[in-house]
Structure 1
Amino acid sequence: MRWTAEQVLALAPDMPSRKAGSRLGTAGPWSGTGGSGAGAVWGLCRGSGSTPYRTVVDTSGPAYKCSCPSRKFPCKHALGLLLLWAGDEASVPAAEAPGWAEEWLAGRHARDRRQEDLAADGGPSARTADPEAARRRAERRAARITAGATELEQRLADLLRGGLAAADRSGYGQWEETAARMVDAQAPGLAARVRELGAIPGSGRGWPVRLLEESALVHLLDRAWLEIDRLPEPLAATVRTRVGLTAPAEGPAVRDDWLVLAQYDSADGKLTTRRIWLHGRDTGRTALLLSFGAVGRAPQLALPPGLMIDAEIVPYGGAGQLRAELREQFGTPVPIKAPPPGGSAEEALARYGGALRDDPWLDACPVTLKAVVPVPSDDGWQLADAEGPQALPVDPAAASRPGLWRLVALSGGRPVTVFGECGHRGFAPLAAWSDDSPETVTLT
């Protein structure tokens, strides 16, 4: 099944790539194009040099290969080829792959098989790891984190003694110094929260209240770590994740037809994080896939929203944790035929409250709203139940994105189904569907 242009553009690593790829989505610069039933698309794109760029895409991944010098994945040529394939069937006919494309595809499939064999055997690390050495390293790191958490508790106590209203006088330097000490303690999760605290003083009206709220959450995380032996294991696993300890995905594998609901990137200056939300058609389970890339490079994992994949995922541990790892994908993606089941605004708030019980540091949880209408309010926008008095405010950060206007246009005053993240800042819409069409409209 061919993708839509919207699904292709959702793969773009940034806005310049999206624009450049759109310019290459016509037949003019392309020759030797073709596609196979196995999900491969290839073509030659005329560039500034004498030799055209060789571009091939494996849509089952998706994965990309191009002879251009770009370090972005996918590059503009891969995006242009996919747009041509999505919009003009005659320009990318079914054909046999040329040698250069077949060589890359065969090598990719061989690597996948080797990885599957290693996983079946337990992997090289499972055969060579020293459990005793790993235990000693874990104990040393835990001791450093404990020292860092104790120091951070003292920093919070000093903050309260000095008064929150005076916190903007000391500047950001002290916060950055404290964050650096948390990095030294090998607690990157605590370091990130300290940096967030340092950005609050003087950040606008009501900042002392926000500083108190966030300080309380940091204090709660500190105390949870310092008394982690007294916590039930699911909550203890969540605490370890929040302070920055990583653990492999070790839960039971879940195979389902997964609806790809949303994909969006965020950057912090050092790392680009890609979030992909999935919903299991049969299990009703929601899962979050995370992928990371260095600055200037898009994360490797990419799944276009609006498609459904037959795949196996492995969940991570922790109370209420939705994160999972994509283990294996079977067959090729197909378009979503219907949106996931949704509920009311009241049910969404109840779900967020339940999620906070399991993970007090959770910013938002995924929910699907059914039969809601986007309407303006006194201080922004809200999603109102079409048949009830309840409404959810739209997250102010999401209200400033172009996606909100796509949602308003899709609705036209009529009820729509909306998937997004419901949190203490409001509801951030990520995808929507109308009753007239099952096509997924991305809002990121």
Structure 2
Amino acid sequence: MALAPDAASAKAAQGLKRPKWDLLGRQDQALWGECKGSGSRPYQVRVDLSQPAFKCSCPSRKFPCKHGLALLLLWARQPDDFAETEAPDWVAEWLAQRMARQEKKAAAPTKAPDADAQQKRQDARLEKVMGGVAELRLWLKDLAGMGLMRVPEQRDRLWADITARMVDAQAPGLAARLRALGDLNYTRPTWQGELLRHLTQLFLLTEAFERLDQLPPAMQEDVRSLIGWTYKQDELKQQQPTVQDEWLVLARTQQLDQDLLVMRHWLQGQRTERFALVIHFTHRSQTADLSLIPGMAFEGDLVFYPGTVPLRALVERRGDRVDAPSPEGFAHWQHADEAFAAQLARQPWADEMPMLVRDLTLVPHGAHWALVDATGTARQVHNDDLWPMLALSGGEPMLFFLLRTPGHWHVLGAWHHETYYPL
């Protein structure tokens, strides 16, 4: 069930038993079936086993939906119920369309770039961004003069206008940060501190952009990326070295941003002990890449995006699956806190850090959860339901994979008796 987008989908998929299904079939490449739903017509569900990829006629915005998960689960448990037969039209057409897209992509000719036209576009964008950043700096100063206590009552109009201005200035990174400020929970007692931290980071980013030529090359890449400049994958592969290792997929999170599915995969190299973040963007009408399954390990090459704290990467080559032994991790919370502080000192916008901490005991803490290290120091974690993880541990200390963000720890997985269990 590592492919499930969330725990609710996994639970719902397990409830779709054999009596719900008709026309179960399979080929070497695909599975399909019709699942009875609440409407008069059953949902047509198909799975391409080569990736895997899913398609279902249900209206769910989750990917994969519970019907696709249930079909895979049913095949794993009752493979004899799937007749090996010719695919129906609605399956064959889908597989043919996928194959045609792959062939078209592979056969697409590469055009030589027009250097002069490229330079003109880059210069025009730089001018727009510079104007947008200057306007944002002035806006932030005006906001500070107005006072932050008035922000909640004006937030709908306040963030929308400046966000739209950053979109017009071709600075999508700044627009995303401003949009997130509009989504803050202003009823929480800690909202002032959260807002001030985000605004401080924004102002520091505008200051850094104004002095871009004075910054070290790696920091320049950080600032450009945060503003919204991107790398083409082919250019990245040509300019950056590959890192070869045995990579363990530790976790996958996903969220739907309007019609765009954003999937974030956390990996760690077993020899280099280096963490990597692989991000896939997929329109909801397309099939998402679900090939990086939490808990799997593979031998392969990754290429990292440049920066002061290189973390985001893309998979250039994925080889055979391998076994992954449990790593070491920090001995206690103090070492983890020191590592996070050192990262912020190097890159003040790197407010997300994956890390491993060993010998942690999971305990309920009122309505929340806490992890206690070997010294007795406790940290509250920002997870709602960790009862399955507590049952797994049996009250024993475990090695945990966590994501550190300002003010929060998030549990994403743990090792128990040398076996890794993603959350």
Distance 2:406 2:43 in 1: 51
State the partner residue of 1:78.
68
Given the alignment of the two structures, is residue 430 of structure 1 paired with residue 412 of structure 2, yes or no?
Answer: yes
2-structure distance, mates of 1:427, 1:313: 27
Aligned equivalents of 2:186, 2:94: Cα separation in 1: 54
Q: Return closer, same or farther for 1:98/1:340 CA change in 2, 3 Å cut-off.
A: farther
1:270–1:179 Cα change, 3 Å:
farther
Q: Which amino acid aligns with 1:29?
A: W
Output the amino acid matched with 1:211: L
User: Residue 14 and residue 239 in structure 1: after superposition, are their counterparts in 2 closer, same or farther (change >3 A)?
Assistant: same
Matched with 2:171 is 187
The TM-score normalised by the length of structure 1 is 0.79
CA distances 1:159-212 after superposition (whole Å, capped 9, x unpaired): 222233343454431221111111111111111222333455843324333332
Distance 1:102 1:343, change over 3 A: farther
Contact 1:190 1:244 survives alignment (8 Å): yes
CA distance in 1, matches of 2:92, 2:315: 25
Mapping for residues 11-50 of structure 1, pairs under 5 Å = 11-13=3-5, 18=10, 21-24=13-16, 26=18, 29=21, 33=25, 40=29, 42-45=31-34
Matched, 1:216 2:200: yes
Paired AA for residue 187 in structure 2: S
State whether structure 2 residue 46 is matched by structure 1 residue 55.
Answer: yes
Is the CA contact (8 Å cut-off) linking 1:44 and 1:55 kept in structure 2?
yes
Task: Return closer, same or farther for 1:50/1:157 CA change in 2, 3 Å cut-off.
Answer: closer
Is the deviation greater in 408-417 or in 251-260? Answer: 251-260
Report the counterpart of residue 159 of structure 1 in structure 2: 143
User: What is the one-letter code of the residue matched to 2:370?
Assistant: Q
Corresponding residue SS for 2:355: strand
Residues 368 and 417 in structure 1, CA contact (< 8 A), matched pair in contact too: yes
TM-score for both structures, normalised by structure 2: 0.82
Q: Deviations over 1:231-269 (max 9, x none)?
A: 111111111111111113412233433211111112344
Is the Cα contact below 8 Å between 1:35 and 1:92 reproduced in 2? Answer: no
Match runs of 1:323-362 below 5 Å: 323-331=312-320, 333=321, 337-344=324-331, 345-362=333-350
Which of 237, 253, 265 does residue 264 from structure 1 map onto?
Answer: 253
| Larger CA deviation: 237-246 vs 347-356 | 347-356
Letter in 1 for 2:131: A
Q: Distance in 2 between matches of 1:297 and 1:109?
A: 13
Q: What are the ranges of 5 or more consecutive residues in structure 1 without an aligned counterpart?
A: 1-5
Partner residue, 2:361: 373
Query: Residues 71 and 51 of structure 1: is their aligned pair in 2 closer, same or farther, counting only changes over 3 Å?
Result: closer
Q: Contact (CA 8 Å) 1:261, 1:279: kept in 2 or not?
A: yes
Equivalent residue letter for 2:293? P
**Alignment deviations for residues 109-135 of structure 1 (CA, whole Å, 9 cap, x no partner):** 7976886x67xxxx844x332122112
Give the secondary structure class of the aligned counterpart of 1:313.
Answer: strand
What residue number does 2:400 align with? Answer: 418
* Conserved? CA contact 2:45–2:68, under 8 Å: no
More off after superposition, 141-150 vs 312-321: 312-321
Across the aligned residues of Structure 1 and Structure 2, the Cα RMSD in angstroms comes to 3.6
Structure 2: runs of 5 or more not aligned: none
2: CA distance between counterparts of 1:254 and 1:106? 35
The residue type equivalent to 2:199 in the other structure is S
Quick one: structure 1 residues 46 and 411, their matched pair in 2 at CA, closer, same or farther if it must change by over 3 Å? closer
Please give the alpha-carbon distance, in whole angstroms, between the structure 1 residues aligned to 2:353 and 2:396.
Answer: 25
Shift of 1:154: 0.9
Letter in 2 for 1:62: P
Aligned partner letter, 2:358? K
Superposed CA deviations along residues 358-393 of structure 1, whole A, max 9, x for unmatched, are: 3311222111121111124478432111x2233333
Q: Judging changes above 3 Å, is the alpha-carbon distance between structure 1 residues 14 and 269 closer, same or farther for their aligned structure 2 residues? A: farther
- Shifted more, 83-92 versus 275-284: the winner is 83-92
Superposed displacement of residue 289, structure 1: 1.0
Please report how far the alpha carbon of residue 351 of structure 1 lies from its aligned counterpart in structure 2 after TM superposition. Answer: 2.4
Counterpart for residue 389 of structure 1: 376
Q: Distance in 2 between matches of 1:267 and 1:53?
A: 23
Instruction: Determine whether 1:409 maps to 2:399.
Output: no
Report the equivalent of 1:3. none
1:349, distance to aligned residue in structure 2 (A): 1.9
Q: Identity across aligned pairs (percent)?
A: 33
Map 1:232-251 → 2, pairs under 5 A: 232-249=216-233, 250=236, 251=240
Partner of 1:178: 162
> Which one-letter code corresponds to 1:280 in the other structure?
G
Alignment equivalent of 2:77, drawn from 78, 87, 91: 87
Q: Using the alignment, how far apart are the partners of 2:174 and 2:192 within structure 1?
A: 20
The structure showing larger relative contact order (alpha-carbon pairs under 8 Å, at least 6 residues apart) is: 1
2:331 corresponds to 1:307? no
Q: Is the 8 Å Cα contact of residues 57 and 78 (structure 1) preserved in structure 2? A: no
